[in-house]
Structure 1
């Protein structure tokens, strides 16, 4: 079996189906390759255990991961060129209780200007960044959060210093100063933030807010006068506020640092995929911060109905995404 050709076919098939993730999992004496698309997780291919190990090692090597380590968690990243487009692949490996290694490969798609259903939503976010503070983009895995965050920073950060703190770097942008967490080298989020503030960036990108420490760093940077972009996993626009509260950020801090929160999904169209956002800012955002019980969306339902009426999405897609 030619490993390079096999991996190429697997990745390009996943891209053609607009899969957000590929899962390389041991099942008995076989290696299954599953992919996650908008319809759920489906089996993509099946290999012998030895073939599967070769595939994983090939991918790990390309992502500059330790191919001799099969138990401890590792992360890596690489870029993939296909049909004149650049895709960013983020890899994560770990061994299970039986010592069998698994690998997850996330595919990050470039979202071009024409791939937003409502381009005025991006313009709204660009306008809001003039207030500085913290702008949080939420949504599930594969919804294009990182791409939107980079698009905003690129649009409003011309002739400005843009610095990123990520784990790992997902999108390579030569115009930005990009830094990456490295636990083995004791390069933590905290240390990188100290370095970031000494570099005096105008715009700071703090990848994914995963824990209380990362949330605290993002809020402190915003409160100190920086424009901060960050992503978080949340089920809806206004529940992004609740997610930040669960990470030990109090309402007073949120009221003073949050400029906007948004939620987004990639929806299939007749010609591909486009991004729909839902944005909370201004008085709507401030009122929601003070509420004990929050709703979910600001204008998601109305915009989804608008897309259906214009024929940009089908009725089944409209029904599937009513809850975000």
Structure 2
């Protein structure tokens, strides 16, 4: 059956009846469009009648299809079949969703000849997604710059004993600067948490971690590796001549007027240096337990524990489980002008008013332990320690709690009970743990069912979740309050299973029980719970 798609004339009439344009503006648009024969979005852009993002959304709404304000990885194989020149000339971009479904990003869905040519090529219809023409043009412009620029070619694939001055020259070339800036901007726009730059034998793969899942952004020639890595090293104040040892650094970049911090890790591999950039975008985070997915009962329980004047409160979980955000949300809740709070971190991830924050720097001897000793001489009421990594830091935390201070920190363990075993393995005696521990949160982050597409079934790829059906994350947790019964269990040196049983007997809901409740409520899926809890161990 042939589907009749809306036309430009119909969209023009819609603009008039929807009051999006004044009669005078509509007349100007109609005259210019009919005189030039250009796509209607091009004419509107040149006349300045509507912002491009708003226009793309208006076209998508009228055609009842998806809209994307940013473009990620194109389907390279399909792009080659279409012909890159044809695709760029017609502002078309094929993309593949998480489930492997092919869609076509377009600036002008009314341009049926070009779209039908693609559908004839693949032997079927494609779901369309509208994007601003400038977004698609930028994709092809940058793609051409990084692949075809004569000054950014294989001559830069310098391996072995590169001259430092040559690396500096490469890193300062315009195509390299544009490419790195573009990757950072696209990561921030896509609300990614990490950027992965991975060299292989023939390519460099760029991936973004969004909602806990890594997705390929694009691949570029191997010849670009030295320039990309050197550029990031310069921005992070790292030694570009050192390629044999791992290096850690930090950088700050301005993205759309917003200052954003990045934590940078560079590690040598057999094909060159791999780079991971953790994005510390404070503007995207609400430091509220409710916003993270903690219900009223959990929030009240945490508040009751952390408002005690002394003791240790821990948040545990694997890397990327939201421990630091939860910890800061707790600190934000209990922050009081009558109290003096310090944080000791590596790095400082969120800047908070009314809190004195220290960033450790082992290079000059400012370790967690030495910073904590200094802080304890500053008359604090409470201390947030970014992470308890070793016995020395753990002992100082215990001593601080014993001398009347509230200590908040994180540990890398799979469960709340696992934190007790971890501290024992560090050498902290059980009787000291029983005396100082007040509560422990074990947590993970699961992706939520996409609110945009959960209530309707459509062939069009959802612009919010990219067709995965999941968008955004929330905490799955267990809260272990250290009651008298648990203190006795800790003092007896009971193992993790016994500690968990003792906690559940006094009302602790396990992480798995909480996760199953979220599945039953339709907040997440059983597959997501299996991925996050079963595969990571909890």
TM-score, structure 1 normalization: 0.85
Equivalent in 42, 67, 89 of residue 262 of structure 2: 89
CA contact (8 A) 1:90 1:170 kept: no
Secondary structure of the equivalent of 1:184? helix
Q: Distance in 2 between matches of 1:230 and 1:261?
A: 10
SS at match of 2:248: strand
What is the distance in 2 between the residues matched to 1:150 and 1:169? 11
Report the equivalent of 1:142: 320
Higher strand share: 1
Tell me by how many angstroms 1:261 deviates.
0.9
Matches within 5 A, 1:1-324: 1=146, 2-11=175-184, 13-14=186-187, 19-36=192-209, 41-78=214-251, 88-96=261-269, 100-108=272-280, 110-113=285-288, 114-120=290-296, 121-131=298-308, 132-159=310-337, 160-269=339-448, 270-271=450-451, 272-283=472-483, 285-286=486-487, 288-289=489-490, 290-295=492-497, 298-299=508-509, 300-323=511-534, 324=538
Q: 1:9 to 1:49 in 2, by over 3 A?
A: same
CA distance in 2, matches of 1:31, 1:11: 16
**Over residues 106-139 of structure 1, what are the superposed CA-to-partner deviations in whole Å (9 max), with x where a residue is unaligned?**
2346244343323322332222112221111111
Partner of 2:27 in structure 1?
Answer: none
Pick the structure with more helix per residue.
2
User: Structure 1 residues 217, 103: closer, same or farther in 2, change over 3 A?
Assistant: farther
Report how many aligned residue pairs link the two structures: 323
Partner of 2:349, secondary structure, is coil
Counterparts of 2:342 and 2:389 in 1: how far apart (Å)? Answer: 19
Structure 1 residues 45, 167: closer, same or farther in 2, change over 3 A?
A: same
8 Å Cα contact 2:385-2:408 kept in structure 1: yes
Q: 1:233 to 1:122 in 2, by over 3 A?
A: same
- CA 1:41–1:273 in 2, change beyond 3 Å: closer, same or farther? closer
Contact 1:261 1:279 in 2 (8 A): yes
Q: Contact 1:157 / 1:203 at 8 angstroms: preserved in 2?
A: no
RMSD: 3.0
Deviation by residue 1:223-252 (Cα, 9 ceiling, x = unmatched) = 221111111111111111111111111111
Query: Could you say which structure has the greater relative contact order, defined with CA pairs below 8 angstroms and 6 or more residues apart?
Result: 1
Using the alignment, how far apart are the partners of 1:99 and 1:211 within structure 2? 33
Q: SS of 1:137's equivalent?
A: strand
**Contact 2:416-2:479 at 8 Å conserved across structures:** yes
Structure 2: gaps of 5 or more residues:
1-145, 147-174, 452-471
Distance 1:90 1:302, change over 3 A: same
**Superimposed CA distance per residue, residues 145-203 of structure 1 (whole angstroms, 9 cap, x where no aligned partner):** 11111121122122122211122222233432221222221222222122101211211
Tell me how far 1:5 sits from its aligned partner.
4.2
How far apart, CA to CA, are the structure 1 residues paired with 2:437 and 2:388? 14
SS of alignment partner, residue 204 of structure 1 = strand
Against the structure 1 CA distance between its residues 95 and 305, is the aligned structure 2 distance closer, same or farther, given a 3 Å change threshold?
closer
The CA distance in 1 between the partners of 2:416 and 2:327, in whole Å, is: 15
Inter-CA distance 129–106: structure 2 relative to 1 (3 Å threshold): same
Taking a change above 3 Å as real, the CA distance of residues 158 and 107 of structure 1, as seen in their structure-2 partners, is same
Contact between 1:71 and 1:99, CA under 8 Å: does it hold in 2?
no
Deviations 1:248-301 (A, max 9, x none): 111111101111111111211124212232110132642552453223684123
- Give the secondary structure class of the aligned counterpart of 1:208: coil
1:115–1:275 Cα contact (<8 Å) kept:
no
Aligned counterparts of 1:40 and 1:92: Cα–Cα separation in 2: 19
Distance 1:302 1:266, change over 3 A: same
Counterpart contact for 2:196–2:207, Cα < 8 Å: yes
Instruction: Please say if residues 111 and 144 of structure 1, whose CA atoms lie closer than 8 Å, have aligned partners that are also in contact.
Output: no
Q: Which moved more, 1:267-276 or 1:48-57?
A: 48-57
Find the aligned partners of 1:172 and 1:49 in 2 and give their Cα distance.
38
Change (3 A) 1:22 1:178: same
